[in-house]
Structures are given as C-alpha cells and as structure tokens.
C-alpha cells in the first residue's frame, strides 16, 4: 500500500479492506457532523457498507481512475481524502475530503490536501485540480481558498442532500499556480 507522508504526525495511506471496521466506527461516531454536507452518510449503516465502499474505491484505483486515502493522525484514522475521477486525457482530477469533528481546526486537512496536490502535480503529472464545496460549508471552502485555488463559479443545485438541493462553489488550481511553500 502506498503511503504519503504529510508530516511527523499525519500520513495518507491507501484504503485497504482491513480499514473497514475502524472507518465505519469513525463514520458512525461522526454521523450527524458528516451528514450536514455529505449525502452518502445515511447509506453507510454497517461495516459491510463500508467494505463495499472500500471495494469500489480499490476497483477505481486498479482502473487508475482515482485513489482513496485514509488520513491517519498518530496512527489512527481520522478522515478520508481522495482523488475522484482522474481525467488522464485532459490531465485533471478533483479532490474530496472529510475529517472527524474533533480533529477540525488544527490544520490537518489543509496539510493533507496540500500533500495530495503535490502528489497529483509532481508524481501523476496532472495539470489541474478541482475542489467542489457546498456554499454553506465554510470550513471546507476555507481549504482551497487558503491554498490559492481560484473560485471559478457556482454550480446551482449541484447536489441533492437528503431533502434539498445545495449549491456548490467550484475551485481550481493549475500546476503553474501551485506554491510549494
């Protein structure tokens, strides 16, 4: 399994089947927090649901069409970050992420996203990375804004979230704009 070191405390490790129980427990413990902006939470009701997610993620990875990483802080899983569909012809991808509520506000996700951007540009040879965030999700939006992404626009009613549509902002970063400080 590939692992990307972020810093002394944080690593990104490719998702594996052995992660299912720990990941499910994390989702279950953060269900209300995650449900505010993630539409898949109610469909994840058991370890077997998490196993199915892992199997689908591994299949996409084998097809070189994305990769999902566990965000590990001092060895324990605290969230997920992934490269969604990788468009190899046009050299771009998008990043999705979530973090346990108690781990927010410490710079962990910003550091993880920064590491994944560097991987996408330097190791995968991509040219463009996108992040889409619900307009109301200020914490999630702060990450691309902090990292120098450009907000390109608003996707009206871009996601059905349980009982309503939500608008998304779309952010992008090009390889030649990336600050590696």
Count of residues making up the chain: 181
Flag whether pLDDT at 71 surpasses 90: yes
Per-domain residue ranges of the chain? 3-127
Mean pLDDT value across the chain: 95
pLDDT at 2 (0 to 100): 87
Cβ contacts of residue 17 below 8 Å, gap of 6+?
Answer: 51, 54, 55, 58
In CATH terms, the superfamily for domain 3-127 is Gcn5-related N-acetyltransferase (GNAT) (3.40.630.30)
Flag whether pLDDT at 179 surpasses 90: no
Q: Could you count the other beta carbons within 10 Å of the beta carbon of residue 73?
A: 18
Q: How far is Cα 20 from Cα 177, in angstroms, rounded to an integer?
A: 37
Segment 91-144, tens digit of pLDDT: 999 999 999 999 999 999 999 999 999 999 999 999 999 999 999 999 999 999
Q: What percent of the chain has pLDDT over 90?
A: 96
Flag whether pLDDT at 82 surpasses 90: yes
Q: How far is Cα 139 from Cα 135, in angstroms, rounded to an integer?
A: 10
Flag whether pLDDT at 181 surpasses 80: no
Q: pTM of the entire structure?
A: 0.95
pLDDT at 153 (0 to 100): 97
Mean pLDDT calculated for residue range 47-76: 94
Segment 35-47, tens digit of pLDDT: 999 999 999 999 9
pLDDT at 1 (0 to 100): 61
Cβ contacts of residue 177 below 8 Å, gap of 6+?
Answer: 148, 150
Beta strands in 9-161, from DSSP E residues, in sequence order: 10-14, 67-73, 76-83, 92-99, 128-134, 150-161
Residue 180 pLDDT grade (very low, low, confident, very high; cuts 50, 70, 90): low
How many helices (H) and strands (E) in the chain? 5, 8
Residue 152 pLDDT grade (very low, low, confident, very high; cuts 50, 70, 90): very high
């Amino acid at each position: 399994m590939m692992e990307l070191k972020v810093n002394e405390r944080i690593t990104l490790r490719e998702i594996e089947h052995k992660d299912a129980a720990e990941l499910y427990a994390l989702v279950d413990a953060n269900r209300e927090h995650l449900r505010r902006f993630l539409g898949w939470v109610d469909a994840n009701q058991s370890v077997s649901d998490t196993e199915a997610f892992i199997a689908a993620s591994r299949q996409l990875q084998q097809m070189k069409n994305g990769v999902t990483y566990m965000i590990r802080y001092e060895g324990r899983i605290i969230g997920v970050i992934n490269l969604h569909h990788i468009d190899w012809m046009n050299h771009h991808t998008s990043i999705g992420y979530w973090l346990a509520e108690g781990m927010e506000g410490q710079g962990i996700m910003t550091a993880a996203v920064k590491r994944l951007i560097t991987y996408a540009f330097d190791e995968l040879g991509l040219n463009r990375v996108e992040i889409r965030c619900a307009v109301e999700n200020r914490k999630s939006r702060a990450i691309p804004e902090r990292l120098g992404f450009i907000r390109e626009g608003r996707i009206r009613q871009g996601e059905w979230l349980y009982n309503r549509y939500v608008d998304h902002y779309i952010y992008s970063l090009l390889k030649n704009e990336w600050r590696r400080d």
